[in-house]
Chains A and B, each alone.
Chain A
Amino acid sequence: MDTLNSLLYGFSIALQPDNLLFCFLGTLVGTLVGVLPGIGPVGAISILLPITFKLPSTGAIIMLAGIYYGVQYGGSTTSILVNVPGEASSVITCIDGHQMALRGRAGPALGIAAFGSFIAGTIGVIGLMAFAAPLSRFALAFGPHEYFSLIVLGLTFVTYLSHGSVLMAIMMACFGLILGNVGLDTITSSPRLTFGILQLFNGIGIAPVAMGLFGIGEVLVNIESTVSSEIVKTKIKNLLPSKLDWIAAKWAMVRGTVVGFFLGILPGGGPVLASFLSYGVEKRVSKEPEKFGKGAIEGVASPESANNSAAASSFIPLLTLGIPPTPTLAVLFGALLIHGITPGPLLIQKHPDLFWGVISSMYIGNVMLLVLNLPLIPMWVQVLKIPEKLLYPLILLFCLIGAYSMNNDIFDVFVMIIFGVVGYLFRKFEYEGAPLILAFVLGPMFDLNLRQALLISDGSFIPFFTRPISAVTLILAIMLLIISIFPTFFRMIKGIKTNLFQR
């Protein structure tokens, strides 16, 4: 009953005209970002972050959240029509989605993707509502040991799930921790690695770093690419899936929703992992696994449901524990801090308007996205035809304006450009930005909680393993590290031995 009253309160905030507008703008931009390959949700939220400074906190977060889950809807359009994923969590949709389009079934593919996203997204929000408040109360018992261990688990997960080398991902996490702690020490107030630069006393801004790494870096890689994509030339008809399509896809949507929801809560999980795993699960349980890869509607319904469900549930650790589980939400975490809101167990108590307003807006946003992504598909197809020669300069300009507008200081622009070059080089040298940005955002919390925990325990590490929550999360993190490092380590030793003997 309490939850219902709170939800109604949330709707009273979300249905205010200005918040409705922000929700619409967020979902519209999110869909646009999802449709357009080249800029992902991290880049989009980073680029738009400075603009939200002028908005009220609740409206700003509603808009940024709208972008985050809106992207999951839009990504499927370009995956199905162009065979190029709009963003990472739609990669797997390319496999069967594009095959359906080539067989003249683009409409049902787009339709089931949109409906699956809507149903899963709505269920995800219900789950968020159900779990968030109890988890917040539970998290009030967390101390520095628990927070430190959770952050370690989150960073370990992200490195474990990295596409490339785990070794290099851990290196990026270490570098991110270093970068994140540049500025004044929260305990002693002494400047750390500021080199006398005044603008660094408050630390390096999250927005210039994220815009640089994921916005500028991505654009630079795309500018030099010689690959161009072609839209499937087929008339898109019958967007409403048939009865047979629904029968074929219904259990795939249910499984995708469940898989996505639980993976979204895990630090390091999120929509990308959810979409890949749910496809794997679907193929494994299917009675006709051979049809996957050739236009199976389950191959579209499952990952699209999973990524939307995960997008909703990933707000649980962010809002209740103050730990962003994905790089995109790490930037959103930064946005909350910039607006003077500290996510964590006390968020619901201190800012009930923001918490319930955002949750209610997610219900509304899912409805808006269904409308945006079905009848307006022809509009998005036209958007896909915007020449890249016009698009990328505009994105660069957006980034430059965004970076400058944060503090009206050209220093932030230079920081962004530097990280843009870094992001570009990362792609060349196979480093990933995700562990870096997550460690960057969590760095100050990591440092503070570690030092507080050690001060409390007088330097002893035993309490990390005697306090139950801390013990479980740390042991899980250590196991993950061992699983990820040991095979690599043994392969490396084997490679070195072979090479030495050959010489």
Chain B
Amino acid sequence: MDRRHLISGLFWLAISIFVGIMATELGVGTVSSPGSGFLFFWSSLILGALSVILIIKSIFGKREAKLLIDLWKGLKWGKAVLAIITIFLYALILTELGFILATFLLMILLFGIGKLKYWVTVMSAFITVMLSYIIFHFLLQIQFPRGIFGW
């Protein structure tokens, strides 16, 4: 059994059912007068049908059984997870702390994931923030949030 495709197949089946329900609420219409939900309905139907085929294939197919954990075996997946959490937190605090401070903290954490020396991390973060502020704010006129400190 291919657990990877089984799980993804179930996920897409759920999505297709959800979109199909939404489509009927929008109004599928008729072939001669298609409604707002026409494309959503038929796309979700095809997606759902293919998901079922994928699920069947994953259960009965010839493919070698793999555990989900094999997808991350031998990889430094913790770094990827840390990176996702870091950028998510950045998005949460950006408007509160302002661009300069939030970006400085972001770069400290991201460079830290690479396990650079402490002084290299801090210097690189500082230079990155300054350069990006000059290039994007002054040269390209992008307006960044100032945050509670007004930076």
Contact = CB atoms under 8 A, between A and B. Distances in A.
A428 to B, nearest CB: 5
B91 A417 contact: yes
A401 B113 contact: no
A499 interface: yes
Contact of A223 (B35, B80, B90, B106): B80
Interface in A163-209: 167-168, 170-171, 174-175, 177-178, 181, 185, 187-188, 190, 192-193
B83 A417 contact: no
Interface string B31-61: 1111111111001101100110110110011
A421 B84 contact: yes
B40 A220 contact: no
B34 A454 contact: yes
Contacts of A285: none
Secondary structure at chain A's binding surface: helix, strand, loop or mixed? helix
Contacts of A495: 57, 60-62
Contacts of A492: 53, 56-57, 61
Interface string A133-176: 00000000000000000000000000000000001101100110
Contact of A389 (B39, B51, B111): B111
B12 A393 contact: no
Contacts of A223: 76, 79-80, 83, 113
Contacts of A221: 80
Contact of B43 (A177, A216, A428, A454): A177
Interface in B122-137: 124, 128, 132, 136
Interface in A428-480: 428-431, 443, 446-447, 450-451, 454-455, 458-459
Contacts of B36: 185, 187-188, 190, 192
Interface string B92-103: 001100000001
Contacts of B72: 224, 428
A209 to B, nearest CB: 16
Top 9 closest pairs, chain A to chain B, by CB = A389-B114, A459-B32, A393-B110, A459-B31, A496-B60, A174-B47, A495-B62, A224-B80, A405-B142
Secondary structure at chain B's binding surface: helix, strand, loop or mixed? helix
Interface string A353-394: 000000000000000000000000000000000011110111
B148 interface: no
B124 A459 contact: no
Contacts of B71: 428-429
Contact of B74 (A192, A226, A429, A459): A226
Contact of B107 (A185, A224, A393, A454): A393
A192 B144 CA distance: 31
A499 B51 CA distance: 20
Contacts of A451: 34, 38-39
Contacts, number: 179
Contacts of B57: 167, 492, 495-496
A396 B87 contact: yes
Interface stretch (A123-131, A241-249, A340-348, A407-415): A407-415
B32 to A, nearest CB: 3
Interface of B: 4-5, 7-8, 12, 15, 19, 22, 26, 30-40, 43-44, 46-47, 50-51, 53-54, 56-57, 60-62, 71-72, 74-80, 83-84, 87-88, 90-91, 94-95, 103, 106-107, 110-111, 113-116, 124, 128, 132, 136, 140-144
19 contacts: A168-B54, A177-B39, A178-B39, A193-B19, A388-B114, A393-B110, A393-B113, A396-B110, A400-B90, A401-B142, A404-B94, A410-B91, A410-B95, A417-B88, A428-B4, A429-B5, A446-B39, A447-B38, A450-B34
Chain A: interface size category = 35 or more
A482 interface: no
A429 B19 CA distance: 22
A449 B2 CA distance: 39
Given A193-B19, A390-B116, 16 more contacts: A54-B142, A171-B54, A193-B22, A223-B80, A389-B111, A389-B114, A400-B91, A400-B106, A404-B144, A405-B142, A417-B91, A430-B5, A454-B33, A455-B34, A495-B61, A496-B56
Contacts of B50: 167, 170-171, 174
Given A414-B91, A498-B62, A500-B60, A54 B84 contact: no
A73 interface: no
A260 interface: no
A231 interface: no
A404 B94 CA distance: 10
A500 B56 CA distance: 12
B60 A178 contact: no
Contacts of B37: 192
Contacts of B115: 389
A413 B91 contact: yes
A175 B61 contact: no
A134 to B, nearest CB: 33
A414 B93 CA distance: 12
A171 B83 contact: no
